[in-house]
Amino acid sequence: MITFNSKQKIFHLEGQGTSYVIGVSPREDFHHLYWGKSLSSKSLQKILRDWQKRAIETEHHISREFQTREFPDFGHNDLRAPAFQVKQADGSRVSEFLYVSHSITPGKPDFGLGPSSQVEDSDQVQTLRINLVDKLKKQELELYYTLYPQRNIVVRRTILRNKDAKPISLLKLMSSSLDFAPGPYRLVRFPGAWANERKMVEGPLLPGTTRLESRRGISSHEMNPFTMVTRGEATEEKGEVYGFALAYSGNWLMEAELFRTGGLRLNAGLNDFDFEWQLKPGENFTTPECVLAYSPNGYSQLSLDLHHFTREKVIRGTWQYKPRPILINNWEATYFKFNHDKLMKIAKAGKEAGIELFVLDDGWFGKRDNDTTSLGDWFVDKRKLPKGLRGLSDDIHGLGLKFGLWIEPEMISPQSQLYKKHPDWCLHVPGRKRRMARSQLVLDMSRPEIRDYLFDTISKALEEARVDYVKWDMNRSLSEVGNRVLSPQKQGELYHRYMMGVYDLMDRLNRRFPRVLFEGCSGGGARFDLGVLSYHPQIWTSDNTDGLERLFIQYATSFAYPPIAMGAHISSVPNHITHRSIPLKWRALVAMSGNFGVEADISKWSPRDRKELAGYIRFYKEIRPLVQFGDFYRLESPYNSLQTSWMFVNKTQTEALLFVFQVKPWTKGTKVPPIKLRGLNPSKTYEIKGEKLKISGKKMMKVGWLPKAFRTARGNYHSSLYRLI
Ligand code: DGJ
């Protein structure tokens, strides 16, 4: 429920367990008053009394830097990082936007192209729009807050409108900005690298500005566009946690400025680095969305809210609530070296093991025998597939499997027919060298004619081959970001125009092929974000399929993103990246904790391994609804426990799955603590299948339980899955 108290001039956004309060000061400036646990009216009044005193003082003789502000402007007496910056026609960068009006409406407006969280029940969801005006310059700002009360989530975005008679440039416009009262605060970030995505790094916020960002044109391996701020230390079950997740896949910024007062400003949105957007009279600019989540009870509650929100409001289309098929992908099995028969052999072995979908990865088009050629030539390579894609697809379908295809639409190989024909279609700065990465250049996705070419050629391939699934890859960062089409003044718009062009193509292909399941991918997980999830219901988590590495990657990814979104495959050993050999059971249990699949030529596996795999696949089919749509709880962290454990619980709490992985071998004298389960019904007695054990939910959660196998587990890679009913 969102309310405005016209006497006190405050907005109160009340979720089921949260309050977010904004106040309009006597001089029509916006102050952030509170975000946290639901407020009683008594505590709200106390906050208001304190604020009113402070607000009046500020208006008269104290700098605005001592206020906790909401969406602060720049150039007056608050010199902390602003939420926006406008360059006026006269060159001035100072602006002053003041409150003029607001509206509170059911549901959420349509903001046009780009990722946008959905509303099904507009009785529940409301949007607050606050209108601010810079009277001198006739510019208008609109701040949007959509409240999803059941998940305690507020989705923010901003629009700037130029109503002046002169053009302006926008140098910075955040989706969300607010000031927290003095802390202590800590920050959790998720940095990484290729094959090593999203490591959880937690630590105190130090004075000064911490910029988490991407300048690579993609959300990046290096840092994920999700961060958490905690007030003091937090654990899975305790502590105040604030989450910020950007629904954007290009250059992004989270800017945390810890000021000398101890107060913290958190700005989140498009990166202002190398950004400049021209607005002619009458034009406007809309930012991407930022999803704000709050938990008074530690990380776990925050993750649960974000998982539900992502499944219910971000992921959309045919596959939103559909169990995802178990796939087999030929990448690690063959790389570029395959032909029709070899693929059929893998598919047949897959079918025998119970697989549901066969995915043909990179190398099916042009003359792509390695990664130096053919991107952009989306025509089948008849040398490898003499019966064409359709012939292969028919044979795969004939086995009773669905057929999936890999594409990398945003790229062009200099060695390609497309490049010969259109050497100016890649991002480039005239006269400068075009730097390659993985021997490829990036298509200028801001240009509609390039998107049309891609839409037509890709649609043709998907249609002809009766494709059921698409893996959309993207294997390099952007460089030489320039083009000849935009005017010199508009070159600073290109990164964002690129990203909006990508969303446009995703959107068109989604509409054209509503039943096709799309999986996002970017050299593994370099574009794992809510932006991609708005168009692609699942994402390839990492090229690293080593079972132990994956434990860390999937563990950290789960802080923001639900297991159904995480592509997780069993591959062969020794692992293609780490060269480590981990037992099949462990690899299977890690993969079964996400969106399960296989990435191997299992026709070469021993009959024993194939039988074991078939068993896991059979079992996953039984537990799939629970893993893909249940509540996920992290119990023990791979970072600091002897073992890692996590669990899934169904909606009615009648069923649960406990996964345990022994990360470090037990040594004599070490006392392994019992695993405290979560999310169970305290008054239900659960039977642990195969253990001849019955324990109450209450005991499982309060006292915990340590499976016998993990009490003194020596040696390597013990893992188990326990089913509770
Ligand atoms: C990177 C992806 O992450 C891999 O799974 C595979 O599709 C390769 N690209 C193919 O080039």
Domain check: are 707 and 676 in the same one?
A: yes
* 361 Cα–ligand 1 center, Å: 7
Residue 431, in any domain of the structure: no
* 475 Cα–ligand 1 center, Å: 8
What is the model's pLDDT at position 430?
93
Q: Is the peptide bond before 296 cis (omega within 30 degrees of 0)?
A: no
614-645 per-residue burial string, b: 16 or more CB within 10 A, e: under 16: eebbeebeebbebbbbbbbbbbbbbeebbbbb
11-42 per-residue burial string, b: 16 or more CB within 10 A, e: under 16: bbbbbebbbbbbbbbeeebbbbbbbbbebeee
What is the model's pLDDT at position 28?
86
Domain check: are 310 and 179 in the same one?
A: yes
Domain check: are 532 and 607 in the same one?
A: yes
Instruction: Please give all residues whose beta carbon lies within 6 A of any atom in ligand 1, as ranges.
Output: 331, 361-362, 406, 473, 475, 521, 523-524, 540, 543
The gap between the terminal CA atoms of the chain, to the nearest Å, is 37
Residue 646, in any domain of the structure: yes
Kindly give the number of the ligand 1 atom that is closest to the alpha carbon of 361.
7
What is the model's pLDDT at position 57?
65
Domain check: are 581 and 701 in the same one?
A: no
Tokens of 469: 């699934």
Domain check: are 600 and 697 in the same one?
A: no
What is the model's pLDDT at position 122?
80
pTM beyond 0.95: the answer is yes
* Beta carbons of 568 and 596 less than 8 angstroms apart: yes
Distance separating alpha carbons of residues 86 and 168, to the nearest angstrom: 7
**Domain membership of residue 53 as a residue range:** 2-314
Residue 695 belongs to a domain with what CATH number? 2.60.40.1180
Residue 505, in any domain of the structure: no
Q: Which residues pair with 645 in a beta bridge?
A: 636, 660
Residue 48 belongs to a domain with what CATH number? 2.70.98.60
* Beta carbons of 686 and 725 less than 8 angstroms apart: yes
Q: From residue 74, how far is each of 71, 207, 430, 439 by CA, in Å?
A: 10, 20, 36, 43
Q: Residues in the chain with pLDDT < 50?
A: none
Domain check: are 461 and 375 in the same one?
A: yes
Residue 122, in any domain of the structure: yes
- Domain termination site, one of 579, 597, 624: 624
Overall domain count for the chain: 3
DSSP for 556-568, written as a single string: HHTTTS-GGGEEE
Distance separating alpha carbons of residues 102 and 162, to the nearest angstrom: 18
Residue 615 belongs to a domain with what CATH number? 3.20.20.70
* Beta carbons of 187 and 202 less than 8 angstroms apart: yes
Residue 321, in any domain of the structure: no
Would you name the residues annotated as active-site residues?
A: 473, 543
Residue 481, in any domain of the structure: no
Residue with CA closest to ligand 1 atom 9: 523
Query: How is residue 488 annotated by DSSP?
Result: G
Pocket test for ligand 1, best of 335, 474, 475 (most atoms within 8 A of CB): 475
* 176 Cα–ligand 1 center, Å: 34
Residue with CA closest to ligand 1 atom 10: 362
Q: Is 113 exposed, middle or buried (0-12, 13-18, 19+ CB in 10 A)?
A: exposed
What is the model's pLDDT at position 58?
63
Residues 6+ positions from 135 with CB-CB distance below 8 Å = 98
- Domain termination site, one of 624, 656, 672: 624
